[in-house]
Amino acid sequence: MKFVVWTLVFAACAAVGAVVAANTNPFPPGVEDPGARPAPSRAPSSAAPSETQAGAWLVRIDIRTYHDLLVGGRCAASWRVDIGIAAADGPIDGGGAAALKGEIRCDEPTAQVQAERIDLRAVGVLRDGELRLRLEEKGRSPAGSQELSGFLETIKRLRLEMPTRDGATESFDFEIPDGRQGTFGAAGVAVLTANAP
């Protein structure tokens, strides 16, 4: 009988010990279990969308320029400028040309040959959804021709700041001294077409 009683006591103690052991952490806080394996890390299912803006645009400028001379009257001309631009946030890559519309009009006869086409490069940046650019001459034709209407003097001082939405426009009208008591002037409008090929 004693044997049976002690066997039951030992079995009960073993059961209580097993329950306590199963619900107790043998390692104090801050001590890592040497047998534990870290759960494998998983890459996110999809990358966050990029905030970088990128696109292609056509900037068309219809512009009238003139050169008022201190003596000798005025030379004036109308131009159509088409500039293609590709950019992401940051510096832009763009270029195009200005074409003379009609003929130059001068109050006095001139023997100089007027440029009919001027190749241009666009310099600037795309920032905060806005194109900021200016234009620089790359070449002209016919070879050896002059620009008598003030186009080159005014276009290099023109600064455009246009939102990149389709159909955005910017108008301008300004004069600058020619350094010989005459005046260069330009007036026109720039229109932006988004996602141009």
Q: How far apart are CA 136 and CA 95, in angstroms?
A: 9
* Domain contains 134: yes
pLDDT (0 to 100) of residue 113: 94
Domain count, the chain: 1
Q: Which tokens in the block code for residue 1? A: 């009988």
| Residue 100 placed within a domain | yes
Residue 50 included in any domain: no
Q: pTM surpassing 0.75?
A: no
> What pLDDT is stored for residue 153 in this prediction?
95
Residue 130, domain CATH: 2.40.128
Mean pLDDT of all residues belonging to the chain: 82
CA distance 165 to 128: 12
Q: Residue 6 pLDDT > 80, yes or no? A: no
> Which tokens in the block code for residue 32?
């890592």
Tell me what pLDDT residue 52 has: 45
Residue 8 lies in a domain: no
Q: Is residue 138, in this structure, part of any structural domain at all?
A: yes
Q: How much of the chain, in percent, has pLDDT values that exceed 70?
A: 72
The yes-or-no verdict on residue 32 having pLDDT over 60 is: no
| Per-residue confidence (pLDDT) for residue 43, from 0 to 100 | 44
Residue 152 C-alpha from the chain's centroid: 25
pLDDT for residue 75 is more than 70: yes
* Residues 160 and 134 sit within 8 Å (Cβ to Cβ): yes
In a domain, 22, yes or no: no
Q: Is the pLDDT of residue 72 over 50?
A: yes
In a domain, 173, yes or no: yes
**Banded pLDDT at 56 (limits 50, 70, 90):** very high
**Which tens digits make up the pLDDT trace of 134-181?**
999 999 999 999 999 999 999 999 999 999 999 999 999 999 999 888
- The range of the structural domain enclosing residue 67 comes to 56-194
80-108 tens-digit pLDDT: 999 999 988 899 989 999 999 999 999 98
**Residue 51 in domain:** no
Lowest mean pLDDT among 5-9, 22-26, 41-45, 64-68: 41-45
φ, ψ for residue 22 (rounded to 5)?
-70, -25
Evaluate the omega torsion of the peptide bond into residue 38 and state whether it is cis, within 30 degrees of 0. Answer: no
- Is the model more confident about 117 or about 88? 117
Which of 188, 187, 166 is CA-nearest to residue 58? 166
